[in-house]
Structure 1
Amino acid sequence: MEYQNIKLIKEGHIAIMSINRPEAMNALSTGTAREILAALEEMELDDDVFAAVFTGEGDKAFCVGADLKERKTMTREEMKRQRALFVRAFTAVAEFPKPLVAVVNGFALGGGCEFALGCDFIIASEKASFGLPEVGLAIIPGGGGTQLMPRVIGRSRAKELIFTGRRISAQDAYKLGLVNYVVPPEQLMEKTIQVMREIVKNGPVALRQAKRSINLGVELELNTALALEAECYNVCLATEDRDEGLLAFNEKRKPVYKGR
């Protein structure tokens, strides 16, 4: 598929999906949401992609949320249809089965912050900032923010950020546990690729099952969660990659995983 609003490239087993609307601060338009859904499906179905990056083009913004210039021209019915599309896009990011890392190079506001929260973890530039300012527009975060933010930083801190609509710096986000790394802007992609290479050297089936076990199990009662973990482990046990991993260990070489 040819994309107009995003870029999708591959580097080895790593896919990099970038919102490509820097002139609009990578705001989320109808067309962009459709292309994000298409790209996520393309990356999921590509067995050669073990893990993916979600970022934004330029150095100003990861994504500043909905494109309000587009929205002001829409009828109420058109806005309802767009809203349903946006929910699908946010859900697809949160439910993407392979490791998905957000790389935030500037503003991650509103829906942009929610996209980042929906990823497995965040690597941020020192210039990045985060916020869920929706209450200032008399609405609430609607892309998962009220559910994801409390799970990442805790209920009371999430309430404060959402109730005030406050924007926080990358360093403050790091202190809250919202982001995993904060690096100088010129080192952002270098750090990202370093981390991603550490991920994709591992078995892709194991990566997917580890993500499934964590995401589904974290809110479960412990005995049920442990049963889920055992189920995910057994999926890995029956793969060719498991055999390759043991063989490579015994032969003192790097394994060559194929996702089977």
Structure 2
Amino acid sequence: MMKPEINDHVAVIRIDHPPANAWDLTTMTDFGKAIAQVESDPSVRVLIITGAGDKFFSAGFDVSDAENTAAISNLGRDVWRRLDRFPKPVIAAINGYALGGGLELAMACHFRLLADAPRLKMGLTELNLGIIPGWGGTQRLPRLVGRAKALEMILFSQTLDAREAFDCGLVDRLVPPEQLLDEAMVMAKRLAERPPVAVRCVLDAFSAGTYEGLDQGLMTEAEGAGTVRQTEDREEGFAAFKEKRKPRFVGR
């Protein structure tokens, strides 16, 4: 069972399905439940997703569970979209190979930190099997690396090493492998100190603009601006500014 590790407002979920952290129906179902638990837990302000072990973040779909392809794919699309629209910041700490559905998962997270390991590869290699990326890859990859680069990666099943992934904008930061989770935790704790209601409103506005278009994004932003004006955190933020001290946000 995949359970979140929760400490100081930060949850860590480890994809743990040896040897390649690939997605069979059981793993996908457990992961979806862990995501739901984090989303509903008011004590959690930030989520980190990483892979168990040191070789794979996730190698994507588990071909040994082909009989459950439809169920796994439907869950993958739904859970990845849920993460893309998650109300709390999500950091992918990419500790190893991220291929196919594994890369699609990383792209659905808000931030991507990548282990700067020499043999690590990332790519959407589905066309090598005569199939296509089906868990959001055709939509999220061009938003990160541009249309031409995304087409090249997908149509030629091109894989990138760590430096190439960083240079084209696929990941946000390269980190020495032994420091990856520590760096992700530092970032998560900084995010956890931000005003949770305001953070959620920003993420909602981003999501609305992406999924429903600019007009809806602007409307959601305006609604969020009205929401935060009524919060205790807004009062605390203004008081801390006047008193020249660090604010202590409580999420109300």
Query: What runs of 5+ residues in structure 1 fail to find an aligned partner?
Result: none
Residue 234 of structure 1: CA displacement?
Answer: 1.5
Residue 51 of structure 1: CA displacement?
Answer: 1.1
Give the 3-state SS of the residue equivalent to 1:146 in structure 2: helix
Q: Distance in 2 between the 1:224 and 1:13 partners? A: 30
**What is the correspondence of 1:1-260 to structure 2 with a 5 Å cutoff?**
4=1, 6-21=2-17, 23-71=18-66, 74=67, 78-127=68-117, 128-218=120-210, 225-260=217-252
Q: Distance in 2 between the 1:116 and 1:229 partners? A: 26
Residue 252 of structure 1: CA displacement?
Answer: 3.0
Q: Distance in 2 between the 1:84 and 1:224 partners? A: 27
Residue 219 of structure 1: CA displacement?
Answer: 6.9
Residue 9 of structure 1: CA displacement?
Answer: 0.5
Moved more, 81-90 or 235-244: 81-90
Alpha carbons of 1:32 and 1:179: their partners in 2 closer, same or farther (altered >3 Å)?
A: same
Residue 93 of structure 1: CA displacement?
Answer: 2.0
Give the 3-state SS of the residue equivalent to 1:174 in structure 2: helix
Q: Distance in 2 between the 1:48 and 1:241 partners? A: 16
* Identical-pair percentage: 36
Residue 204 of structure 1: CA displacement?
Answer: 0.7
Residue 217 of structure 1: CA displacement?
Answer: 1.9
Alpha carbons of 1:69 and 1:223: their partners in 2 closer, same or farther (altered >3 Å)?
A: closer
8 A Cα contact 2:116 2:162, kept in partner: yes
Give the 3-state SS of the residue equivalent to 1:59 in structure 2: coil
Equivalent AA in structure 1 for residue 31 of structure 2: I
Q: Distance in 1 between the 2:75 and 2:215 partners? A: 37
Query: What runs of 5+ residues in structure 2 fail to find an aligned partner?
Result: none
8 A Cα contact 1:37 1:92, kept in partner: no
The TM-score with structure 1 as length reference comes to 0.90
Give the 3-state SS of the residue equivalent to 1:158 in structure 2: helix
Equivalent AA in structure 1 for residue 107 of structure 2: L
Q: Distance in 2 between the 1:15 and 1:224 partners? A: 30
Alpha carbons of 1:234 and 1:41: their partners in 2 closer, same or farther (altered >3 Å)?
A: same
Residue 221 of structure 1: CA displacement?
Answer: 6.3
8 A Cα contact 2:95 2:177, kept in partner: yes
Give the 3-state SS of the residue equivalent to 1:24 in structure 2: coil
Residue 153 of structure 1: CA displacement?
Answer: 1.2
Q: Distance in 2 between the 1:224 and 1:88 partners? A: 22
CA RMSD of aligned residues (A): 1.7
Alpha carbons of 1:165 and 1:241: their partners in 2 closer, same or farther (altered >3 Å)?
A: same
Residue 222 of structure 1: CA displacement?
Answer: 5.2
8 A Cα contact 1:29 1:67, kept in partner: yes
